[in-house]
Amino acid sequence: MFLCFILFFLFCAGRLFFIQVFRSNYLAIIAKKQHNLFVELEPRRGTIYDSNLKPLAVNMQVDSLFACPNGMSFKDRETAAKKISAILGLNISQLRERLNRKKYFVWLARKITPQQSAEIRKLNIKGLDFIKESKRCYPDGYLASHVLGFAGLDNTGLEGLELYYDSYLKGEAGWAMFLRDARQKKLDLWEKMVLPKDGYDLVLTIDEVIQYIAERELDKAYRKYNAKGASIVVLDPRTGAVLALANRPTYDLNESTSVSRDIRRNRLITDMFEPGSVFKIVTASGALEEKKVDEKVKIFCENGAYKVSSHVLHDHRPHGWLTFREVIEQSSNIGTSKVAQMLGNDLLYKYIRLFGFGAKLGIDLPGEISGVARPPRFWSKVSVATIPMGHEIGVTTLQLAGEISIIANGGRLMKPYIVSEVRDKFGETIKQFSPVEINRVMSENTAERIKKILVGVIEEGTGKLAKVMGFDAAGKTGTAQKLEPNGRYSHNKYVASFIGFAPADEPLIAVAVTLDEPHPYYFGGVVAAPVFKGVANDAIRYLKTRQLPEEISVSHEINPVN
């Protein structure tokens, strides 16, 4: 008996020696894992403000639920799976799978509501705990949805400005090693910690008031004319700053996960279409700048039918002799085509490119396309007659806004931009964005002459429904047939558009409006012009109540055309 006892004692002593000497580090690591909890500390995502520092995108602190399966009994795991699945509406089998993992930390649900958090706390189940995380929230819901975009569950930008400026907004994560007691409860003590670096804030050129006005007027037309889609952009023509940008259909940014990609698409910069008569400004500007015509020269409009090669052009109503000014005011396809023939292929293409068509304007939003503007070597015999009236060319609504801004600001193509500055959480400016002139398109004299013609479009021509009481405005209507899959022009699908600026003498805003497949009415002067009127009427009066900067510093980029 004594010998057996001695042998057992020696075995225990040897085993203890082996554990202490050879297994000490391994067992210490296991103990540390049981009593330490590694947690990533999420940085505060930067706030997005409008130009008046009203928050458009903010963060809220919410609970995220995790479990420590290795510290839970089978009964606790089953109770947790059944009750949490009911509270959170999760699949019970998926919860069971997570709770049966041989781990000390498993996420069960991220960023739950305060009500859900309170119900789970009442259960008082061992092995469940919460970590505070930030959730992206959008106070205005639908407002400026295609500008702001949204961030995902991990606070990474997925659309719009949230994606484009994600590197500024996101910040850098930190971490902490928290202590836990013998029951695996987290203590408010930590061994080590690296604090997170918060993201920077964005201040936009978007004005919340003008954004609301633009969306209100666009929504009226979109619903009234049963359009497939609609877009509007409001620019400061002097700087290129975007004051408002919206699309229809739209969506609530707080419910972005349940919305289709088609609705989330920023069609204002991603969708291309033939512009129709709003494109006649390009031909008119080039002809005046190159001194091919003047406002009083008379052009015979063939009484509504004009054959060019094998193609016959028509006007929406027949015209005989019109002055050049009247050709634009009455939106004569035949008159415009004859002017383009005087200008010639090469000069016409030159001004198409100078106006920014066929190239990205460089707005700070993801997804912008360049459109299509083919060089003259790819033109057919009728292209010089059809391109001036807005056929055989693909544009975006943003490019149309750039086009009308050129006339409003005296002949300069400005780069559109949405973010005016980046700030840290203390309000210090990290980066500032200034107006950028891409290139000069025409002389101030030519721009002024075109401006007077476009005032006539609203006063005497096709844009009478855009007339604003109290001040003059300038603009141009457009109605373009859409192409069918077989390559022929549709007779029941149109894109209606209006581009304009106001006041005409000292423009404060430039507006481009497009409606896709409106019906039963589809003319730009009927469908889109009233949208411009509504926006200009309220936005101008609002802007006149604010003190505007007297001088604007403008930097220059290399002319992409040259």
For the annotated catalytic residues, the residue numbers are: 277
Cα(417)–Cα(401) distance, rounded to whole angstroms?
12
For residue 352, the SS3 value is helix
The DSSP bridge pattern shows strands 229-235 and 509-516 to be antiparallel
Q: How many residues does the chain have?
A: 562
Q: Which amino acid is at 272?
A: M
- How far is Cα 179 from Cα 32, in angstroms, rounded to an integer? 9
Strands 311-314 and 305-308: antiparallel
- Region label for 111, one of left (φ > 0), alpha (ψ between -120 and 50) or beta (otherwise): left
Residue type, 410: G
**444-459 and 280-289 are packed helices; what angle lies between their axes, rounded to 10 degrees?**
140
**Token duo for residue 234:** 């409001």
The CA distance from 445 to 300, in Å, is 26
Residue among 459, 480, 489, 475 at smallest CA distance from 523:
480
Q: In whole angstroms, give the CA distance from residue 157 to residue 172.
A: 14
Task: Provide the β-strand partners of residue 246.
Answer: 232
Cα–Cα nearest to 450, from 345, 339, 534, 551: 339
> Judging by beta carbons within 10 Å of its beta carbon (0-12, 13-18, 19+), is residue 34 exposed, middle or buried?
middle
Q: 328 near 272, Cβ under 8 Å?
A: no
